[in-house]
Structure 1
Amino acid sequence: MRVRPRHIGTVAVAAFLALALAGTLAPAFGWRLDVVRSGSMSPAINVGDLAVTSPERPEDLEVGDVACYRTSDGSFVCHRIMAIDGANATIVTKGDANEDADPHAVAYADVEGKVAFTVPYLGHVVSFLQGPLGWAFIILLGALLVFSEAKEVIVKGGAQGPKEGGE
């Protein structure tokens, strides 16, 4: 079986549209898609992975979950829960690659959810597509697909309609 370049383009467009749809629909349901930019959770979650975060009430989290929260400087962090202090409404977290627990307990109010799953390497693709070269790539891919379709119509002699006389 021979793969035609036209089919590769169709698959690329379908993959891009699926990613765009997921990125659009996820926030509508409270989910987040975040590119992992730090190795603090390695080897469980690596730099360049795409972390999919589900909205969770802090009271429903358990020791061992990877909680995602906002720090005082506005950064978004996902670290494993080491301890829960329900009386003070805080959790103690630690990156898997770090030797010590994080220096400050995280208030329930700062918790936004937990990592439901990750997609290895997809964060690299998302980061690329969000940058200026990524936009150029998307525009170029679209232009190539339009050109390919136009060439197909010209080579085949235009759209095939029903022949006269019912043939």
Structure 2
Amino acid sequence: MSTSTRHAAPGSDAGRRSLTDRALNAVLNLAAAGGALCIVLVVLAVVFDISLILFRTGSMEPAIAQGSLAVVREVPASEVGVGDVVTVERGERLPITHRVTSIEPAADGRWEITMQGDANPGPDPAPYSVTTVRLVLFSIPGLARPVAALNSPWVLGGVTLAVSALVVWALWPRARSTAGAHSTEDTEDTEDTV
């Protein structure tokens, strides 16, 4: 029984296509890992009541610089202490994130919290009556603008198109290349007659 095998030359188109396919597969695997990470982060955020706060002002400098992104966790107001940096809701106005200067129990399970920005000369005008607050766990300087840009319809549309194109590419049927494929030819054993 004899077999013959043909291989693609190292510099052939099949070798280049194989390298391109490997690069695109790596991108696809990276995107899949990123997607899985996003799913895990969303589940953790929901389970632990974690969200993000973007600092557009410098009222908390130098502790938290303007343009920082902070990771916050919703907690009962009773768990907050003087010196903690918390975010409180203010009805129709934007939430505010400042340092707690005093906290006192109030009626109906509410707490009166007085706060002041580190860069502000005095405390906020009035105490906040709350049952829950968002406690700042940590902040990362300079990430507010890039994260805010991700909310842009142009960025979201571009990401959607890129991911769609990647999925279509991954699922698109491929023609089998004969140049790069290994082919074997089997021959049957025959008896030679003399």
- Judge same fold: TM > 0.5, yes or no: yes
CA distance in 1, matches of 2:122, 2:64: 18
- Structure 2 residue 149 is matched with structure 1 residue 128: yes
Bigger-Rg structure (1/2): 2
Q: Which has the higher strand share?
A: 2
CA contact (8 A) 1:26 1:32 kept: yes
CA distance in 1, matches of 2:54, 2:99: 17
Question: What aligned pairs does 1:128-147 form with structure 2 within 5 A after superposition?
Answer: 128-143=149-164, 145-146=166-167
CA distance in 2, matches of 1:139, 1:65: 39
Map of 1:35 onto structure 2: 54
Alpha-carbon displacement from aligned partner over 1:55-74 (angstroms, at most 9, x marks no partner)? 22212211110011111324
Number of aligned residues: 159
Map of 1:114 onto structure 2: 135
Aligned AA (2:158) = F
Map of 1:94 onto structure 2: 116
CA distance in 1, matches of 2:105, 2:115: 14
CA distance in 2, matches of 1:16, 1:128: 19
Alpha-carbon displacement from aligned partner over 1:87-130 (angstroms, at most 9, x marks no partner)? 67311101112111100101133x42311112333333322222
Query: 1:137 aligns to what SS in structure 2?
Result: helix
Aligned AA (1:29) = F
Q: TM-score, normalised by structure 2?
A: 0.62
Q: Which runs of 5+ in 2 are unaligned?
A: 1-21, 186-194
Q: CA RMSD in A?
A: 3.8
CA distance in 1, matches of 2:42, 2:145: 15
Question: What aligned pairs does 1:1-167 form with structure 2 within 5 A after superposition?
Answer: 6=24, 7=26, 11=30, 14-15=33-34, 18-19=37-38, 21-23=40-42, 25-86=44-105, 89-109=111-131, 111-143=132-164, 145-146=166-167, 149=170, 157=177
Q: Which has the higher helix share?
A: 1
Residue 148 to residue 62, structure 1, CA distance change in 2 (3 Å): same
Residue 143 to residue 32, structure 1, CA distance change in 2 (3 Å): closer
Q: Which runs of 5+ in 1 are unaligned?
A: none
Tell me which of the two structures has the higher relative contact order, counting C-alpha pairs closer than 8 angstroms and 6 or more residues apart.
2
Residue 87 to residue 140, structure 1, CA distance change in 2 (3 Å): closer
CA distance in 1, matches of 2:42, 2:56: 18
Residue 74 to residue 149, structure 1, CA distance change in 2 (3 Å): same
